[in-house]
Structure 1
Amino acid sequence: FAALVAIASSAPQGGNTPVPILSSEFDQKEDGSYSFSYETGDGIKRSENGEQKKIGEESGSTSNGSISWKTPEGKTVTITFVADERGFQPK
């Protein structure tokens, strides 16, 4: 019984606080290309662009974008990437 009480009291208290979406955009073109971006109230920013691409005899797609967020210490972390026939390539 004591172990159960210890586990229950160590569980996170309270609920999840909703995070507002400050901006959100999406554009889909007839040729299959697209772009989107959003920013949230907790400092997350995300954007991506993509398009259809002929890879040899096959159809494929390429995309590039970035995501950034703040660490608990307040430092901004940003990852940019390209995804194409060579795979996902974070920078």
Structure 2
Amino acid sequence: MKLAIVFATVLTVALAAPANEDRDAQIVKYENDNLGLQGYRFQFDTSNRLQRQEEAQLKSFGDDISALVVRGSYSYTGDDGQVYTVNYIADENGFQPEAAHIPRA
């Protein structure tokens, strides 16, 4: 009985482990531009088909108040083989993601 419990535990842990493809993913493309006080931009692609890009620009909101406005997107291939893409902006209105697979209020 104890052997069955140990086997079931080991099997559960093994099945929950990430696939080798994800664990061994490599960055295949990387670009990064630091624009100093004006912002930044970067993008990367990985061998397991993850992609991300983002850029930020300094925006003035009035007397001595400025902040970065960030725009970007990321995409990945789900377990179902479909590519999911999320586009987002983060500004004075907070983080605002948009994607076909994200329910709208």
**Which category of TM-score, normalised to the shorter sequence, fits these structures?**
0.7 to 0.9
Deviation at residue 31 of structure 1 after TM alignment: 2.7
Larger fraction in helix: 2
Deviation of the 1:44 alpha carbon: 0.5
Could you tell me the TM-score, scaled by structure 1's length?
0.85
Greater fraction of residues in strand: 1
Query: Moved runs in structure 1, 4+ residues, more than 3 A?
Result: 13-17
Q: Secondary structure at the match of 1:36?
A: strand
CA distance in 2, matches of 1:39, 1:50: 19
Whole-angstrom CA distance in 2 between matches of 1:9 and 1:77: 30
User: 1:9 Cα shift?
Assistant: 3.5
Which structure is higher in RCO with an 8 Å CA cutoff and minimum separation 6? Answer: 1
Residue-pair matches, total: 91
Q: Which runs of 5+ in 1 are unaligned?
A: none
Of the three residues 67, 75, 86, the one matched with 2:74 is 67
Q: Which moved more, 1:31-40 or 1:3-12?
A: 3-12
